Amino acid sequence: MADNLRVLKVILAALIPSTVLMFVLFAIFPYTGLARIITVPQTYFMNLIVIGLGVLAVRLLKNRHTAWIWGIVVFLTLVITVWVYPQESKPHIVYQTWDWIRGR
């Protein structure tokens, strides 16, 4: 029971960065249309798969390199969150952000 509770805490902790990023994206890029209804659950599902693979990797490696594994998992969940985020009429948010950085 205690081990299952620890895994649940790890999963929830790993979902926090992508959830915060999703709310930031909602505020900065609000023009998503109806695609947001589909992509938000899809994003969580994909992130849960990555986190589950991270849990398995940590267990297989017997807690060696745990920080590196979770760093990679959190990075991948953030990349998935940005990449799957919809944009209705303008270019994808990756291109909009890149243009903003370049000053276009």
Instruction: Calculate ∠ Cα 33-34-38, nearest 5°.
Output: 130
Q: Which residues have a Cβ under 8 Å from the Cβ of 15 and sit 6 or more positions away?
A: 44, 47, 48, 51, 77
Q: How far from the centroid of its chain's Cα atoms is residue 30's Cα?
A: 18
In 29-61, which residue ranges form alpha helices assigned H by DSSP? 35-60
Yes or no: say if 78 and 18 are a contact pair by the CB < 8 Å rule: yes
Where along the chain do its domains lie?
A: 2-102
pLDDT at 93: 79
Q: Which residues have a Cβ under 8 Å from the Cβ of 18 and sit 6 or more positions away?
A: 43, 47, 74, 77, 78, 80, 81
pLDDT in tens, 19-66: 999 999 889 888 778 888 898 999 999 999 999 999 999 888 877 788
- Token pair for 87: 């944009």
pTM comes to 0.84
Percent of the chain whose pLDDT exceeds 90: 37
